Amino acid sequence: MATDSGRAPTASEYIQHHLQNLTWGRHPDGHWGIAHGAEEAANMGFWAIHLDSMFWSILLGSLFCFLFWRAARKASTRVPTGFQNVCESLVEFVDDTVKDSFNGKSALVGPLALTIAVWIFLMNLMDLIPVDFLPEALLRWGGIEYQRVVPTTDVNVTMGMSLSVFALMIFYSIKVKGGKGFLAELTMQPFSSDNKVVQIILMPINFFLEIVALVSKPLSLGLRLFGNLYAGELIFILIALLPFYLQWTLSLPWAIFHILVIVLQAFIFMMLTVVYLNMAHEHH
């Protein structure tokens, strides 16, 4: 990476460059295009799109679908291949997890949990690629100035996933309990009384407490994943600023530790999704 003047970037410029998404949106003068810098991206407002996050997340999601489709087509009752064993182990693990945590009946929860676990793992796995490898290659061969290749370090991606889970929670809460049952769940607990007058008095308090608890679920789900992966990416960027001999000394142990982080964060997101959907299916 070099600045417009040809000099080597400062540490601050290097970090800001690596944390900048490839953003497409509407410029203040009305034309649509790619932002050249953080200020232009901020001026594009809400409808700007992070092209790199969209590209890598869709690519990795498609890769997940292709790999499992291929494993299913090649599946055999004879001696299985190593990849078939991996896919079967993942399916069995997710299936056992769903059976232990989900008490309702739904044909969606199992496949959804498997998709979330593998998709998030693949997106997190991109954090183990050296921070300059893909951005430098895309700049040299494609002229793409900005490139963040870890979709889960973009809060828009993680919150988009968590809001999708939230929408499913609301949908199943209303479907299983009915509109009246869902509203009763928000207004008749945690405080209750046999006295009708007291019930009416407690309704606003219950609603406030329950709506805060409800809204906090997607916020914590999305921000937890974003915060952990963003911090991990930032540490890799800081290590890349060090002298070469220190980079290998520090990056290898951090990468080994980060493998645990990316697996754990994929599992936590999947597990909380199953738990939240189980709560949506429960009657109180």
HSE, side-chain direction, 13 A CA sphere, residue 110 = 13
Three-state secondary structure call for residue 46: coil
Planar angle of CA 164, 168, 172, nearest 5 degrees: 175
Instruction: Out of 7, 220, 251, 278, pick the active-site residue.
Output: 220
Question: What's the rounded Cα separation, in Å, for the pair 265 and 231?
Answer: 13
Planar angle of CA 194, 277, 180, nearest 5 degrees: 35
148 belongs to the catalytic site: no
220 belongs to the catalytic site: yes
21 belongs to the catalytic site: no
CA-closest candidate to residue 226, choices 125, 158, 160: 158
Instruction: Out of 173, 224, 251, 278, pick the active-site residue.
Output: 224
Are 169 and 275 contacting, i.e. CB atoms less than 8 angstroms apart? Answer: no
Three-state secondary structure call for residue 220: helix
Instruction: Out of 193, 228, 251, 278, pick the active-site residue.
Output: 228
Q: Which residues does the annotation mark as catalytic?
A: 220, 224, 228
